[in-house]
Amino acid sequence: MDLGDRASSSPPPDFRRRLHFLRKSQGAALSAPLVGGEVAEPVAREDLAADPPRESRVEVMDDKPGPGPVSETSEFLFSFGVIADIQYADLEDGYNFQGNRRRYYRHSLLHLQGAIEHWNTEGSPPRCVLQLGDIIDGYNAQYKASEKSLELVMNTFQMLKVPVHHTWGNHEFYNFSRNYLTNSKLNTKFLEDQIVHHPETVPSENYYAYHFVPFPQFRFILLDAYDLSVLGVDQSSAKYQQCLKILKGHNPNSELNSPQGLSEPQFVQFNGGFSQEQLNWLNEVLTFSDTNQEKVVIVSHLPIYPEASDSVCLAWNYRDALAVIWSHRCVVCFFAGHTHDGGYSEDPFGVHHVNLEGVIETAPDSQAFGTVYVYSDKMMLKGRGRVPDRIMNYKRENAFRC
């Protein structure tokens, strides 16, 4: 893969205004592209009213079935499940690296079983489930139990009556190489949909990303947030050396997992980034969705919006990803995991950023998953346990005209 392959044409004026907003909103200049050249040219759109981000949140009501009351003008279309950071290991409970949050390694599998039982018995079953990464914990590698633990969790997922789409996180790469994952059951790229006569929307084999259509006029895109990473890559490869140079260029610490003293704390080893090749592909898919008036949901293990996440958990080049997304009108929601604490914010362009609470830090008497009910004018997340309910309205231009 040529990591230096970037579009050379200049962005349209509207896109420059959006980049200016991105610089202003983050309190710093847009980071220099990680791999030389210009940001991929997106399709311009009219300026949107930039209302302040607001949090749409309602109380959790686990005793009530379904997503709750909706307006008479809102038409229910379909639903999908979401779950993140299962991190199963056959170990006694432990703690995070800071020693201040308990991790329930064995019980995470019971939480997964409970989520699957719920989805299997819903009156209107979800079209699919999105597994947001970190399916088993990195400790499995230390105890040489990676394959055994993965098999146990995948056998549990086989009880699910609908398709599951797997995203890769840092703990996948603690346990397995990228080559291993590509040939494993965690590669669900076979579930992708291809757009006839649009070869530019076919992803490269150089990264793990694809798109699919769970319901007419809705396109889901899975991104590879460790496309640029030193994890899971042969250390003798040119890509590893290039990614290590990027990381050390932003993080001078001897311990590369430490954000201490960093002005950009996302540049740690347990994070990664999106190559320009992948961002160019994302731009092409979003261009198609704009043209065909589709609504798009994007999925990534790493979050990309600072207002919804601890800054140390963001993708390396989150600004580059936001720049592409904000240049299109079709994206309505971005789901991520990684933080374990969860988070939410609606950005000024109407994209809802949802970071799902992690199963691994969920006590046995609680839960951590959700079902998203999709309507003609909104999405409603019905959370279980630690996951709060959320109402996510589409911006007016993205609502279906019924």
CATH of domain 76-393: 3.60.21.10
pLDDT of residue 99: 86
Residue 322 pLDDT > 90, yes or no? yes
Which single residue is written with the structure tokens 């990473």?
229
pLDDT of 28 strictly over 60: no
Check if the beta carbon of residue 118 is closer than 8 Å to that of residue 82: no
This prediction's pTM: 0.84
Which amino acid belongs to residue 104? Answer: Y
CA distances to 19, 44, 257, 264, 304 from 312, rounded to whole Å, are 22, 31, 10, 8, 11
The amino acid sitting at 398 is N
pLDDT tens for each residue of 186-233: 999 999 999 999 999 999 999 999 999 999 999 999 999 999 999 999
Secondary element (H or E) of residue 279: helix 276-291
Q: How confident is the model at residue 55 (pLDDT cuts 50, 70, 90)?
A: very low
Delimit the domains of the chain by residue range. Answer: 76-393
Contact between 344 and 353 (Cβ < 8 Å): yes
* Least confident among 46-55, 117-126, 253-262: 46-55
pLDDT over 50 (residue 31)? no
The answer to whether residue 5 scores a pLDDT higher than 90 is: no
Q: Are 96 and 361 in contact (CB under 8 A)?
A: yes
In this prediction, residue 14 has a pLDDT band, given cuts at 50, 70 and 90, of very low
Kindly provide the b/e burial profile for residues 177-205, where b requires at least 16 CB atoms within 10 angstroms of the residue's own CB: ebebbeeeebebeebbeebeeeeebebee
Assess contact for 204 and 213: CB atoms under 8 A.
no
Residue 64: predicted pLDDT: 39
Q: Is the pLDDT of residue 11 over 80?
A: no
Q: Which residues on adjacent β-strands are paired with residue 222?
A: 210, 299
- Residue 251 confidence (pLDDT) above 80: yes
Residue at token pair 């949802």: 354
Residue labelled with tokens 């995470």: 108
Burial track 328-362 (b if 16+ CB lie within 10 A, e otherwise): bbbbbbbbbbbbbebbbbbbbbbbbbbbbbbbbbb
For residues 291-323, one letter each, b for 16 or more C-beta atoms within 10 angstroms of the residue's C-beta and e for the rest, the string is eeebbbbbbbbbbbbbbbbbebbbbbbbbbbbb
Per-residue confidence band for 47, with pLDDT thresholds at 50, 70 and 90 = very low
Please tell me the predicted confidence (pLDDT) of residue 45. 38
At residue 399 the predicted structure's pLDDT band, cuts being 50, 70 and 90, is low
pLDDT, the chain, mean: 86
pLDDT confidence of residue 397:
65
| Cα separation, 227 vs 277, whole angstroms | 10
Q: CA-CA distance, 48 to 397, in Å (whole number)?
A: 9
